[in-house]
Amino acid sequence: MALIDDLKNAQKDAMRAKDKVRLGTIRMALAAIKQREIDEQITLDDPAILAILTKMVKQRQDAASQFDAASRADLADNERAEIQVIESFLPQPLSAEELDALLEQAMAATGASGMQDMGKVMGFLKPKVQGRADMGALSQKIKARLNS
């Protein structure tokens, strides 16, 4: 079943359960997906939807940290609740060992030897880890590996 169908079914379930936080968050996700489909006049596939959901999680993490810094725990808690809802639609995150194994595989497959090969390695890894790993942290690991 496609991810968009999962989101729509979860929206119906949240309506039936009268779960306002879950319903509101799912509606936001569906609106973001629909907006991108309209803007680009395409139908998004699962990897593109995962990218949108991953971006939404990152935005809410940033907002929660800013609310914490401003001593607004109530708003930070709302953001964290939305993060949990969105993450329930993302695949399980990769463990450090799995990420290291994929990184080794990417280095071997691309023949990466220096920083000039960073794009090749990221291009190889991105479809495999989209929504399952923090791309910023992955980028740092690749940089460290290529510089050593």
CATH number of domain containing 9:
1.10.1510.10
What is the DSSP annotation of 115-136? GGGHHHHHHHHHHHHTTTS-HH
Helix (H, G, I), strand (E, B) or coil at 95: coil
Same domain, 107 and 59: no
Name which of 94, 96, 111 is nearest 141 in CA terms.
Answer: 96
**Distance (Å, whole) CA 11 – CA 14:** 5
User: Of 87, 117, 134, which residue is a domain's last?
Assistant: 87
pLDDT digits (tens, 9 = 90+) for 17-41: 999 999 999 999 999 999 999 999 9
Residues 6+ apart with CB under 8 A from 22: 10, 14, 85
The residue that leads in pLDDT, 129 or 61, is 61
Range of the domain at 122: 96-147
Buried b or exposed e, range 72-98, using 16+ CB within 10 angstroms: eeeebebbeebbebbbebbeeebeeee
Residue 130 has pLDDT above 80, yes or no: no
Question: In this structure, are residues 80 and 119 in contact, taking their beta carbons and an 8 Å threshold?
Answer: no
Look at residue 34 in the predicted model and tell me its pLDDT.
96
- Paired tokens of 129: 């880890």
Going from the C-alpha of 97 to that of each of 31, 94, 129, 132, the distances in angstroms are: 36, 8, 13, 13
Total structural domains in the chain?
A: 2
Q: Of 64-73, 85-94, 119-128, give the range with the top mean pLDDT.
A: 64-73
**Distance (Å, whole) CA 78 – CA 81:** 5
Same domain, 19 and 71: yes
Look at residue 57 in the predicted model and tell me its pLDDT.
92
Residue 1 has pLDDT above 70, yes or no: no
Residue type, 104: E
Same domain, 7 and 75: yes
Residues 6+ apart with CB under 8 A from 121: 103, 106, 107, 110, 112, 142, 146
Residue with tokens 């119906």: 12
Percent of the chain beyond pLDDT 70?
99
